[in-house]
Amino acid sequence: MARSYVKEARRRVGPKRERIVPIIERLQADHPDATIALKYRNDLELLVSVMLSAQTTDVNVNRVTAKLFEKYQRPEDYLAVPVEELQSDIRATGFFRQKTRSLRGTMKMLVEEFDGKVPRTLEELTRLPGVARKTANVVASELGHTQGIVVDTHVRRLSQRLGLTRREDPVKIERDLMKIVPRERWGVFPHLLIWHGRRVCLARRPRCEECVLLDLCPSSRV
């Protein structure tokens, strides 16, 4: 996109601080069902599901965990079976050897340091093996302790297209978003962008003609 066009487009849609609330409100009206797609029944299942979701789809994770969570119900259960057995049980999610190491390391720490319970703070969550900031943000937010904004590939792409950030690094993108998104919307905001990214603002062929953000988006040429 030519620089002159970008400058003109940003002037046309207005400052991002003025657009952010209308963006959120329109997306909430257009995607009232925007919630986490992973299926879980408790804190531990949420943590495991998010850890397994790396480099695969939520649909695939849900398919695997439907059986997994019947077999493994406590942190100790993940440590009681041979490594090869757990690897086999999560193989379909991909990167199963690394995920098995992370799961077993996390379960060991939960048992030894957290009385078998999933912690709530980002500082504690990111101490768990295999739990980076994105995973920690998802878990904390879903447990009602939102402390940041989840930045996945959809959030990154749409935030850039909407002119909310020029950054490439997820941590820097999160900082930019936290400055303009009202704190009480930090939890729902990523879900809205994720579902809008899946349904309308597609990576290769965004459906601008169907987008409720048409007049608020500097990347639209419709």
Determine which one of 43, 152, 176, 215 is catalytic: 152
According to DSSP H, which parts of the chain are helical? 3-13, 16-30, 43-52, 58-71, 75-80, 83-90, 96-113, 122-125, 133-142, 153-161, 170-180, 188-199
CB 149, CB 181: distance < 8 Å: yes
134 is catalytic: yes
Give backbone dihedrals phi and psi of 88, rounded to 5 degrees, phi first: -65, -40
Q: Which of 134, 169, 176, 215 is catalytic?
A: 134
Q: How far apart are CA 151 and CA 134, in angstroms?
A: 6
Q: Which two tokens stand for residue 80?
A: 């009681």
Give residue for tokens 């900082």: 175
- How many angstroms from the chain centroid is the CA of residue 189? 10
The residues that are catalytic are: 134, 152
